[in-house]
C-alpha cells in the first residue's frame, strides 16, 4: 500500500459528506480535543474543499493539533490518523497494522489466566465496543472507543472488561499511533484467528472520541431475557435472526465469571478454540436449570460442568433461531463463513465509510503464517 494511497484516504476521511449529525452525541464533536491539544478553540471552518485541505495542512504544518479538519458545513471531525504520527509524518501501512496484530498474538497465551488465553476477553471487549450501535440515531459502535470513559466503563454489561482494556494499554504504549477503536477491534480479529477461527476481514480508520460520545446504559444484551429482547437489541444494530445466531456462536469461547456477570462456567469443553461445539452441545446435551444461589442459568445434565445462559438456550427454543442453530451444529464450515461475515460487520458498526483507509477490508496474517 503506497503512502500516496493513504494520503488520499486521509483526505476522504477529512471531508465527510454524509457525516451523521442528527444525534445528541454529535454536538460533542465540536468540542474535540486531543492529548496534545491545548485549550485553544479550533479555528473557524473554511468555506471550500480547497480551503479544507489547506486548513488541514496548516494544522499539520504547525506541528500542533493535527486532529482538526473541517467539512463545508463547519462540522469538525478528527482525522483517521492519530495526531502523534501525523506530526511525525508517519503513515501506517498494512504491515504496521500486521505488527500490532503480531504483538497481540504474542501476549494472548498465558498460564495464569482463566483457560490459558486472553483471547476470549479480548473478543468480548471488541464486541461490547461495537455492539452499542444504534442504526437509527447512528450513535455508538466501535468508532470512538467510548468504553474508556465513565460511566460506560462502569456499565454492568462491561464488568471485567478492564482486564482487556488494561492489556491493550501495553500494546498502545508500543504503537501509540493506533486508535483505540482500531486496536480493540484488531484484538478481536486476532483473538478469533489465533483461537483457530476463520479469517475476519478488517480495516482501520476508527478515531478516538471523548467522554460525551459515550453511549447510554442498556444497549447490550441482558442474558436473563428471551427471544424478544435478543431481537430488540440486535435488530437495533441492524442484524437479522441468522446473524444473531451466528454471533452467539462466539460463546464457544471463554467463560462466565461470578465476579463479573454473576454467571459461572464455560459453554464448551475447549473454551480457547473456536468450533461449532456450542451449537452441537445445545442440541446434543440435556440442559437443566442449575440449582444454586446465583442468576438463572442452565447446566448440562451429564457432567454439570458446562453452562448455557437463558439467551443461549433460546436459540433452540425459538423456531426461527433454531433453524440456523441446527444448520451451524451440522456444518462448522457454514458457521465459520457466516461468523466471519457478521463479526467483520459488527466491528465496523458506527464507523462512517469514508473514515476507512481502504475500500476493501484486509485479511490479516495469522502469527504462524
Residue 78: how many CA atoms within 13 Å on its side-chain side?
A: 29
The phi, psi pair for 256, rounded to 5°, reads: -95, 145
Q: Does 255 bind ligand HEM (CB under 6 A)?
A: yes
Beta pairing partners, 307: 299
Task: Scan residues 293-322 and list those touching ligand HEM (CB under 6 A).
Answer: 309, 311
Q: Is 165 in the site for ligand HEM (CB under 6 A)?
A: no
Of the candidate residues 257, 322, 326, 345, the single one contacting ligand HEM (CB under 6 A)? 257
Shortest distance (Å) from residue 279 CB to ligand HEM: 13
Does residue 127 carry a catalytic annotation? no
Which among 128, 202, 287, 362 is annotated as catalytic?
128
Task: Decide whether 14 or 121 has the Cβ nearer to ligand HEM.
Answer: 121
Does residue number 99 form part of the binding site for ligand HEM (CB under 6 A)?
A: no
C-alpha cell at 162: 478492564
User: Where do the DSSP E strands lie in 239-349?
Assistant: 255-256, 265-266, 287-289, 298-300, 307-308
Grid coordinates of 167: 492489556
- What does the chain come to in residues? 369
Measured distance CA(324)–CA(317) in Å, rounded: 12
Q: Is residue 121 involved in binding ligand HEM (CB under 6 A)?
A: yes
- If one counts every other C-beta atom within 10 angstroms of the C-beta of residue 30, the result is 12
257 is catalytic: no
Residue among 357, 366, 369 at smallest CA distance from 94? 357
Query: Given CA atoms 51, 57, 62, 67 in this order, what sign does their dihedral have?
Result: positive
DSSP state of 68: E
Catalytic, out of 127, 177, 202, 267:
267
Specify the residue for cell string 461490547.
128
Distance CA 295, CA 318 (A): 22
The CB-of-229 to ligand HEM minimum distance in angstroms stands at 9
Shortest Å distance, C-beta 277 to ligand HEM: 14
How many residues contact ligand HEM, by CB under 6 A? 24
User: Between residues 174 and 228, which has the closer beta carbon with respect to ligand HEM?
Assistant: 228
Q: Which of 77, 123, 186, 364 binds ligand HEM (CB under 6 A)?
A: 123
Does 141 sit near ligand HEM (CB under 6 A)? no
Task: Give the range of 90-98, 122-130, 140-148, 317-325 binding ligand HEM by CB under 6 A.
Answer: 122-130
DSSP character for 216?
A: P
Q: Which stretch binds ligand HEM (CB under 6 A): 23-31, 76-84, 251-259, 318-326?
A: 251-259
Strand ranges (DSSP E) for 148-297? 255-256, 265-266, 287-289
Candidate residues 260, 307, 328, 364; the one interacting with ligand HEM per rule CB under 6 A: 260
> Which residues in this chain contact ligand HEM in the complex, by CB under 6 A?
120-121, 123-124, 127, 160, 221, 223, 230, 247-248, 250-251, 253-257, 260-261, 263, 309, 311, 343
Give the residue numbers annotated as catalytic, written as ranges: 128, 267
Amino acid at each position: 500500500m503506497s503512502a500516496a494511497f493513504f494520503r488520499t484516504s486521509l483526505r476522504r476521511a477529512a471531508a465527510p459528506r454524509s457525516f451523521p449529525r442528527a444525534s445528541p452525541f454529535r454536538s460533542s464533536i465540536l468540542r474535540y480535543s486531543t492529548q496534545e491539544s491545548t485549550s485553544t478553540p479550533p479555528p473557524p471552518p473554511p468555506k471550500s474543499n480547497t480551503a479544507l485541505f489547506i486548513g488541514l495542512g496548516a494544522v499539520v504544518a504547525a506541528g500542533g493539533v493535527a486532529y482538526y479538519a473541517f467539512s463545508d458545513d463547519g462540522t469538525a471531525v478528527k482525522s483517521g490518523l492519530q495526531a502523534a504520527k501525523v506530526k511525525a509524518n508517519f503513515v501506517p501501512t498494512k504491515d504496521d497494522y500486521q505488527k500490532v496484530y503480531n504483538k497481540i498474538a504474542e501476549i494472548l497465551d498465558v498460564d495464569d489466566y482463566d483457560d490459558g488465553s486472553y483471547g476470549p476477553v479480548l473478543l468480548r471487549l471488541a464486541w461490547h465496543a461495537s455492539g452499542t450501535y444504534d442504526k437509527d440515531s447512528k450513535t455508538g459502535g466501535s468508532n470512538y472507543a467510548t468504553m474508556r470513559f465513565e460511566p460506560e466503563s462502569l456499565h454492568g454489561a462491561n464488568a471485567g472488561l478492564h482486564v482487556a482494556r488494561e492489556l491493550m494499554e501495553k500494546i498502545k504504549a508500543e504503537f501509540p499511533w493506533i486508535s483505540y477503536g482500531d486496536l480493540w477491534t484488531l484484538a478481536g480479529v486476532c483473538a478469533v484467528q489465533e483461537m483457530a477461527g476463520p479469517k475476519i476481514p478488517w480495516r482501520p480508520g476508527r478515531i478516538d472520541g471523548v467522554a460525551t460520545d459515550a453511549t447510554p446504559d442498556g444497549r447490550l444484551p441482558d442474558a436473563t431475557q428471551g427471544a424478544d429482547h435478543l431481537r430488540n437489541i440486535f435488530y437495533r444494530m441492524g442484524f437479522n435472526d441468522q446473524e444473531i445466531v451466528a454471533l452467539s456462536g462466539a460463546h464457544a469461547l471463554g467463560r462466565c465469571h461470578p465476579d463479573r456477570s454473576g454467571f459461572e462456567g464455560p459453554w464448551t469443553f475447549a473454551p480457547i478454540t473456536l468450533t461449532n461445539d456450542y451449537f452441537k452441545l445445545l442440541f446434543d446435551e440435556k440442559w437443566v436449570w442449575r440449582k444454586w444461589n446465583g442468576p438463572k442459568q442452565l447446566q448440562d445434565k451429564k457432567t454439570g460442568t458446562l453452562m448455557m445462559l437463558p439467551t443461549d438456550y433460546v436459540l433452540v427454543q425459538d423456531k426461527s433461531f433454531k433453524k440456523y442453530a441446527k444448520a451451524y451444529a451440522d456444518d462448522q464450515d457454514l458457521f465459520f463463513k457466516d461468523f466471519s461475515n457478521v463479526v467483520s460487520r459488527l466491528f465496523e458498526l458506527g464507523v462512517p465509510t469514508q473514515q476507512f483507509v481502504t475500500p476493501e477490508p484486509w485479511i490479516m496474517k495469522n502469527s504462524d503464517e
